[in-house]
Each structure stands twice: as structure tokens, then as C-alpha cells.
């Protein structure tokens, strides 16, 4: 919720506009102060679109990133503040992202004398709303260079940048913030840094604190996969690791650091199964993707792992009692 709160407050100039955006999202203004609250995908998209509309700022994501502090990332932010080197800040985003989001992925790769920092909204978000997925990426990259400035007191900037989304008419804000000319319409979202630049020390490095925070994070993650929350955790991992097909049980078990047998046993204890959860996630994704009129029924069927649209249509009717086309018509 802190990230959502930052977006709303950056967009709104008064209490009335804050209330307007919250109403669009479907939350109370007071919910902005509930740190552990998370929005679903539709609410995240609405938050961004409503905030851009209210602010009138087409570069809201870039500008929000310039004002975002690591405190908005909660426990992961504290780990960043106490890390040793600038590169460790980016690695924290990769290793501890579940502390602040389950709808975005991060990767850090060392390639020769360069470090590549990649991010993406989960595939279903890219399909559901490409413009808001692009907003999240722009905010992330802008926030990353801003946080490196704050944590190292050095002006570390990428040597190259790639964005998936199309080139906007005006790129001056990108060039001002990143001090390089990004390439758009690429096959990945990536910032490339000189590895030597990312060896800059973090001003507040505190190894004992950092170690303690990592233990806290691991404990929080263990709690999040226990009890009644376990099946929801499995669903979130499915969403985060879905590509063209759904990840098999073995992949999900590996991500959750347990054996497939243990995963099945824990789901059974909650009265469900891996197959049932897969169908539930497919239903949620199908309903979400049907909100995008640019996606055909065949497109959605393929994205959900069905080789034939008729197979998806038959399954969707079993889940909802209606056809995908009827569901789409009733939703509009």
C-alpha cells in the first residue's frame, strides 16, 4: 500500500482529488495508511489511470520515481539502506521483491564489465493493460537511479536503457532523468550500468542490521506460506511464473523451497489441490484479460495455455456458467 499511497498523493493536489482516486480504485481514503494492504491487478491499473488523469501529468511515473524513497518499500527498503554497495540495492529488489509486490519481477545480471537491471510487470498485467505496465517500469527505473543517488551520494546513471513500450512523442524527461537516450520498442526493459559505478559504497551500510533484516524477511515469507494463506501464496507464485503455459507443480514447489509432496499435502490440508488452484487462477486471468478489448478470445485462450479456443470456451463456461463473449459483453 505505501507505493499506492505515494502514487495517489503525487497525483492529487487536494483532499477532494485523493478521495476521487480512492473511489475509482474502490478503497476508502483511510486504507492508504494500511501498510500491509495490497490491491488486486484491476485496482492497480485503475489507480494508475485515475492518478494520471487527475494529475494531468503524462510522465507521472517518471516524476513519482524521482520522489520515491526506499522507505516506501518497507522491509526490502531497509535492507537496501543497510547494504554494502550500490549493486546490492538492485540485488535486494531481485531477491526480496515479495516484501513489497507480487505483480512485478526484477533481475540483476553481470555481463562482462556491465550490470544489467531488468524489470517487468507480470505477463497478465502486460496483456491486461500495457500502458499501466509501462508506467510501473518507468517508475521503477526512475526510482532506482534516485535511490542510488540518495544512498551513495553519487550521481550514478545508466550507460544504456531499453524499454519495451513504444517511443513517446517527447523523450526529453527520460533524457533529463537518466542522462542517456533510451531505446524504445525493445524486447526487454533494461538499465545497463558500468559495474565499476555500482561498487560505490552505501552511506548507511550496516552488516549486522542487514543480516538481521534478512532473517526477518525469511521469517515473514515462511509465515506467508503457512495456514490459510498458503493456497493464496501458491496462486501468486503461479501468476509470477506464468509464461505461455502455467508453471508445473515442481516449479512452484521449488520457488516455495519445498518438495512437490509437501506442497500437495499443504494444499490438501486446506481442502484444495494444485489442479483446483490452477483452474481458479485461469478463471481469474481469463476474466481479467477479457476486460482488454484488444485481445481476441483466441489470444486469451493461447495465453492461458489452451491450444484451441473451444477448449477455453468450454472451461470458462464450466467456471462461470457463461461464455467468454457473454462475460465480456456483460462487463462493458
List pLDDT tens digits, range 208-257. 888 887 877 777 666 655 544 678 778 777 765 555 567 788 878 877 77
Would you say residue 188 has pLDDT above 50?
yes
> What is the mean pLDDT of the segment spanning 247-276?
86
Determine contact, residues 324/300, Cβ cutoff 8 Å.
yes
Give the C-alpha separation, 330 to 323, whole Å. 11
What is residue 81's predicted lDDT score, i.e. its pLDDT? 87
Q: Residue 26: phi, psi to the nearest 5?
A: 95, 30
What top-level class would CATH report for the domain 225-331?
mainly alpha
* Angle at CA of residue 286, ends 281 and 292, nearest 5°: 135
Q: Please tell me which residue, 150 or 282, carries the higher pLDDT value.
A: 150
Nearest residue to 18 via CA among 67, 51, 59:
51
The pLDDT score that the predictor gives to residue 185 is 97
How many other C-beta atoms can be found within 10 angstroms of the C-beta atom of residue 112?
Answer: 6
Q: Give the pLDDT of residue 243.
A: 52
Amino acid 33: pLDDT = 77
CB-based burial of residue 332 (10 Å sphere; 0-12 exposed, 13-18 middle, 19+ buried)?
exposed
Average pLDDT of 265-293?
Answer: 85
User: Lowest-pLDDT range, 128-132, 234-238, 313-317?
Assistant: 234-238
All structural domains of the chain with their residue ranges: 1-57, 58-220, 225-331
Give the sign of the dihedral formed by CA 48, CA 135, CA 126, CA 120: negative
pLDDT (average), residues 272-289? 86
Selected residue with higher pLDDT from 246 and 141:
141
**Most confident listed range (70-74, 200-204, 270-274):** 200-204
CA–CA distance, 69 with 6 (Å, rounded to integer): 10
Dihedrals phi, psi of 297, to nearest 5 degrees: -60, -40
Q: Per residue in 152-172, pLDDT tens?
A: 999 999 999 999 999 999 999
- Side-chain-facing half-sphere of 249: CA atoms under 13 Å: 15
What dihedral do alpha carbons 147, 153, 155, 158 form, nearest 10°?
-40
**SS3 (DSSP) at 79:** helix
pLDDT of residue 228: 45
Amino acid at each position: 500500500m505505501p507505493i499506492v499511497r505515494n502514487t495517489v498523493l503525487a497525483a492529487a493536489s487536494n483532499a477532494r482529488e485523493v478521495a476521487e482516486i480512492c473511489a475509482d480504485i474502490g478503497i476508502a481514503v483511510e486504507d492508504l495508511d494500511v501498510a500491509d494492504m495490497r490491491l488486486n491487478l484491476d485496482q492497480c491499473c485503475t489507480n494508475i489511470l485515475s492518478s494520471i488523469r487527475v494529475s494531468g501529468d503524462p510522465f507521472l511515473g517518471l516524476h513519482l520515481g524521482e520522489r520515491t524513497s526506499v522507505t516506501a518499500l518497507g522491509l526490502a527498503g531497509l535492507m537496501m539502506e543497510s547494504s554494502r554497495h550500490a549493486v546490492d540495492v538492485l540485488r535486494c529488489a531481485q531477491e526480496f521483491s515479495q516484501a513489497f509486490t507480487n505483480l512485478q519481477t526484477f533481475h540483476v545480471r553481470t555481463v562482462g564489465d556491465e550490470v544489467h537491471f531488468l524489470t517487468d510487470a507480470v505477463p497478465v498485467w502486460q496483456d491486461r493493460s500495457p500502458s499501466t505496465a509501462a508506467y510501473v517500469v518507468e517508475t521503477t527505473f526512475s526510482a532506482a537511479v534516485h535511490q542510488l543517488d540518495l544512498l551513495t551520494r553519487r550521481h550514478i546513471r545508466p550507460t544504456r536503457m531499453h524499454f519495451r513500450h513504444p517511443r513517446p512523442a517527447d523523450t526529453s524527461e527520460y533524457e533529463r532523468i537518466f542522462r542517456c537516450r533510451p531505446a524504445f520498442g525493445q524486447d526487454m526493459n533494461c538499465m545497463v550500468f558500468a559495474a565499476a559505478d555500482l561498487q560505490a559504497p552505501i552511506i548507511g551500510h550496516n552488516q549486522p542490521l542487514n543480516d538481521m533484516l534478512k532473517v526477518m524477511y525469511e521469517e515473514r515469507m515462511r509465515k506467508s506460506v503457512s495456514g490459510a494463506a498458503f493456497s493464496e501464496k501458491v496462486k501468486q507464485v503461479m501468476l509470477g511464473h506464468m509464461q505461455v503455459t502455467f508453471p508445473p507443480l515442481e516449479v512452484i514447489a521449488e520457488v516455495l523451497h519445498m518438495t512437490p509432496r509437501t506442497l500437495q499435502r499443504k494444499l490438501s490440508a486446506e481442502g484444495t489441490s494444485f489442479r483446483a488452484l490452477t483452474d481458479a487462477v485461469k478463471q481469474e486471468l481469463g476474466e481479467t484479460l477479457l476486460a482488454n478489448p484488444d485481445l481476441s478470445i483466441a489470444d486469451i485462450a493461447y495465453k492461458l495455455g489452451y491450444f484451441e479456443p473451444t477448449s477455453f470456451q468450454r472451461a470458462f463456461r464450466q467456471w462461470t456458467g457463461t461464455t467468454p463473449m457473454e462475460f465480456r459483453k456483460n462487463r462493458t
